[in-house]
Chain A
Amino acid sequence: MSQWKKITIRVMRYVTLLLIVGFVALLLIYTSGSNRPFEKVEKSVEASLDKENMKRQDGTALKRNFGLNAADYDGVMYYSSEFSISSEEVLLIKAKSETQTAEISSAIEERIKTRMNDFEGYAPESVQLLEDAKKSVRGKYVFFAAAPGAEKYLEIFNNSL
């Protein structure tokens, strides 16, 4: 093997390792969760919510609307509209394990689908909220917002981690 080829191979190892480090750094910045307690994240998100049209719901509502048991998770914060013609809602869950985040994610997708069918044809504003809804899975945290301020809520959620 020529010296030139040997050097290329050696350099490629370092380049690839650097790429891996860079990739992990990007993941940490944009997709990671955190070990922050649920109460702290909840407090930040809850403080930012426009609660004029939304009311905090209990585990029964979570079960009814998403099919999820609040007791299965480390923490749940669920706000939804008091009016049946509005699709406005914000959900924050800290799962006990990362495997639970997939089931929460599916439940949210299912909820969006159902609500779209419910509002299709007679409540275009609610349909628009669902189309613009924000969902994010960061580590054990799952965040979902279908609300006029969804973008802002998501940003606050990301910053609170």
Chain B
Amino acid sequence: MLFSSITFLFMFLPIVMAVYYLVPNGAKNIVLLLASLFFYAWGEPVYVVLMILSIVLNYFCGRDIEANADNPKKAKLSLVFALTANILILGFFKYYGFLLDTVNSFLTTDIPYRVLPLPIGISFYTFQAISYVIDIYRKDAKPQKNILYFALYISMFPQLIAGPIVRYADIEEQLKMRKVTLRKLGQGSMYFIIGLAKKVIIANSTGAVFEEVAAMSTGSLSVLTAWVGVFSYAFQIYFDFSGYSDMAIGLGKMFGFEFKKNFDHPYVSKSATEFWRRWHISLGTWFREYVYIPLGGNRCSVSRNIFNLMVVWTLTGMWHGAAWNFVAWGVYYGVILVMEKYVWGASVEQLPKPVQHIYAGAVILVGWVFFFSPSLGYALRYLWAMIGGGSGIADAQGAFLLFTHWLLFVIAAVGSTAYGRKLLNNAVRFSANRTVRMTVGAVLYIGIFFLSVAFLVTDTFNPFLYFRF
């Protein structure tokens, strides 16, 4: 079930909210857990069993690590068991087909194999489970004795299928006790509505532009069309994913939880390093905490640090998908980040700010080409078209797409910065009178909500990019 669907907005959410607010505090976790399992089973009636088994497995793994806490060797073995099991499950569903395809292609063999569809959200909930067992091993968190609470941590529907990846240590206390207030409900609703609008109005519209460009052969792309395409994709993926994260954070607030922000206006960055501090923050934090620092982080020799960075970024690329273009995308960022750290980072910082923004923008856009391309060859051909190797500088198609969507691009560009929210806040706070402010705010947000619903009803193009990860 998508957050941006009529079924979710007008059936699932109102019913769950009503029951959640009516039941006593002691029953709220149970209600939320049942709702989460139903939410997942709606889209994955078979794989809900796998998720439940994964919950049970990690629950007992956590308890086993605790049981061996007085024996470091045994505790470590227990952690290794938990990590191996989780990585094998994720690896089987995500990479087994890719691995055999690669073997078949390199050895020109035809090894037959069975394929299973990727369970939605498996990358997110497996990473949460791994964070849980590691936090317990490190004694950063206590194991959850109540399996229902642990099940809720893994399966909570607001962040189950597309994050943010919530660390157990960050949410441990909230699972036991949290405040559910009308104020939080209001704040959460505002977050949710903004996220919905970002997804339905901007991401879907820019996505439709990108689809038009992607349907053309790279040889027929003019420079203008290729750039319109890559900008459209950049806006689509940002508003799609950050919109979904806003909806998740908003829903969390509505149920009394506080999730950390997952995006911080990444397109205003002045370097790739800064971009990754602002983009998918929960994933970056996860890799830093559970891979980069355990490998030695930056407290080691330069060569070892470069190795650590390359491992982290190759894994980050692979996390996004089992395909060589994602590996290339990860390695690309690994190399850029190493270069920024050890070669040209200081020089970039000396440049005028607009030039720094242009530098970061170019790096990010080239990265998205690797990301959206179905193959490495396509990515290289698309990049070639962006610098004039396709069909000239400008053509009627590019001009048409630009002139018919310029307002959309302006809104997307402003919305990518802090000015977007500032404009919205200023519109609400223009009056000193509290009643006027509240009325304007309510009208504005309800208006945005119904506008989003209108887009949802009339628009047939409503994909969600991060589901496949």
The interface of chain A, by Cβ under 8 A from chain B, is: 1, 5-6, 9-10, 12-13, 16-17, 19-20, 23-24, 27-28, 31-36, 98-99, 101, 139-140, 161
Contacts and interface: CB of A to CB of B under 8 A. Distances in A.
A20 B67 contact: no
A1 B97 CA distance: 43
B113 A20 contact: no
Contacts of A140: 115
Lowest 4 CB-CB distances: which A-B pairs, in order?
A32-B114, A16-B57, A139-B115, A12-B60
B1 interface: no
A13 B133 CA distance: 13
A35 B113 contact: yes
B115 A32 contact: yes
Contacts of B104: 35
B429 interface: no
B89 interface: yes
Residue in A13, A98, A139 with the greatest tally of chain B CB atoms within 10 Å: A13
B340 interface: no
B114 A9 contact: no
Given A23-B49, A99-B468, A16 B56 contact: yes
Give the secondary structure class of B's interface. Answer: helix
A35 B64 CA distance: 39
Contacts of A34: 112-115
Nearest to B118: A98
Contacts of A17: 57, 85
B148 interface: no
B208 interface: no
Contacts of A6: 64, 67-68
A99 B467 CA distance: 10
Given A20-B53, A23-B53, A9 B115 contact: no
Given A13-B81, A35-B112, A98-B117, A24 B92 contact: yes
A30 B116 CA distance: 10
A123 B26 CA distance: 57
Interface in B411-469: 463, 467-468
Contacts of B64: 6, 9-10, 13
Given A20-B85, A27-B116, 5 more contacts: A20-B54, A20-B57, A32-B114, A35-B112, A101-B117
Contacts of B115: 32-35, 139-140
Contacts of B89: 20
A36 B57 CA distance: 34
30 contacts: A1-B66, A9-B60, A9-B67, A10-B67, A13-B57, A13-B61, A13-B64, A13-B81, A16-B60, A20-B50, A20-B89, A23-B49, A23-B50, A23-B53, A24-B50, A27-B116, A28-B114, A32-B114, A32-B115, A33-B116, A34-B113, A35-B97, A35-B101, A36-B112, A98-B117, A98-B118, A139-B114, A139-B115, A139-B116, A161-B114
A19 B49 CA distance: 10
A36 B63 CA distance: 43
Contacts of B85: 17, 20
A35 B116 CA distance: 11
B100 interface: yes
